[in-house]
Amino acid sequence: MLEVQNVSVFTGNGLPLLRNITFSLGPGEILGLTGESGSGKTTLIKSIMGILPKSCRLVSGKILANNIDLTALTSGEHRKLCGTHLGFVPQSPMTAFDSRIRLGTQITETLRLRLGLSPTTATELARQQLFAVNLSDSTRIMESYPSQLSGGMLQRVAIAILMALQPSYILADEPTSALDTVNRDLLLNLLQNQVSRSGILMISHDIAALKALCKTVMVMENGAITEKGSMEQLLLSPCRKWTKEFAAAYRLPEKEDWLWTEY
């Protein structure tokens, strides 16, 4: 069980980024998180992972992962849980890798460090996982530097690493932002399969994906969770202004090919 209880995060000069966030995520559950840009979605994931920027502080609240209070851990202890217990898919794939190291090295190093594998088994596992995310040309991928691949490919590499690590909780920050439809569907399938082993918190603006995967979706506004419910429910009866606009924008293309306008 990953439990976030009354978490508040402030910037160094006292502005609130997160206000009293509370939710829990059990294994076998996919929780959606959506909301305006800048509403604090990424900050929430960063505070769970313990990678808040130096200028931000977690002021109050607890984050419990399997009854271990993450906020009470030293950063060293926190890091030991990262990767194995808590997995993270970064938002911008282009900057998520070290530009000076070949991808193969970055993947296998992570697997060796976190799973204690030997170099050959790590390479073998890396190839399998790259194949699973539809990157069949694994030799070329592993020989490449991050700047030589596209955003979508890097995003899939990041997912491949995560799937190899098999963390108990996956925090995915817009995992499909750079993917084409085929690979997006593939990735959503992968996440769906993963759910038997892990709990997943997925940030997304993709209504179809949220609808298909998540039983519960939370909407964030100005650092607070303002609405919570299934996607259908949110689309049918949105309460807040942002959710209404969001729902309206989704319905728009389904209308006839002409629009009512007032005269």
Q: Which is nearer to other proteins, 12 or 26 (CB)?
A: 12
Pick the closer one to other proteins by CB: 176 or 243.
176
Structure tokens, 13: 């000069």
Nearer to other proteins, 10 or 97 (CB): 97
For the record, the structure tokens of 230 come out as 């299934």
Residue 237 as a binder of other proteins (CB under 8 A): the answer is no
Nearest approach, Cβ of residue 158 and other proteins (Å): 7
Least separation, in Å, of the C-beta of 52 and other proteins? 10
Strand order in the sheet with 57-65: 16-25, 2-10, 57-65, 68-69
Interface pick for other proteins out of 5, 11, 110, 168 (rule CB under 8 A): 110
> What one-character-per-residue DSSP string does 224-239 give?
EEEEEE-HHHHHHS--
Minimal distance, residue 1 CB to other proteins, in Å? 20
CB-neighbour burial class of residue 37 (10 A; exposed 0-12, middle 13-18, buried 19+): exposed
End-to-end CA separation in angstroms for the chain: 55
Say if residue 149 is exposed, middle or buried (CB neighbours under 10 Å; 0-12, 13-18, 19+).
Answer: buried
Tokens standing for residue 9 = 């995060």
**CA–CA–CA angle 14, 20, 208 (5° rounding):** 115
Candidates 22, 53, 68, 233; binder of other proteins (CB under 8 A) is: 53
Closest CB 159 distance from other proteins, rounded Å? 12
If one asks whether residue 57 binds other proteins (CB under 8 A), the answer comes out as no
Residue 41 in the binding site for other proteins (CB under 8 A): no
> Residue 38, interface with other proteins (CB under 8 A)?
no
Question: Which residues would be at the binding site for other proteins (CB under 8 A)?
Answer: 12, 46, 49-51, 53-55, 75-76, 79-84, 86-88, 90-92, 95-101, 110, 113-114, 145, 147-148, 158, 161, 165
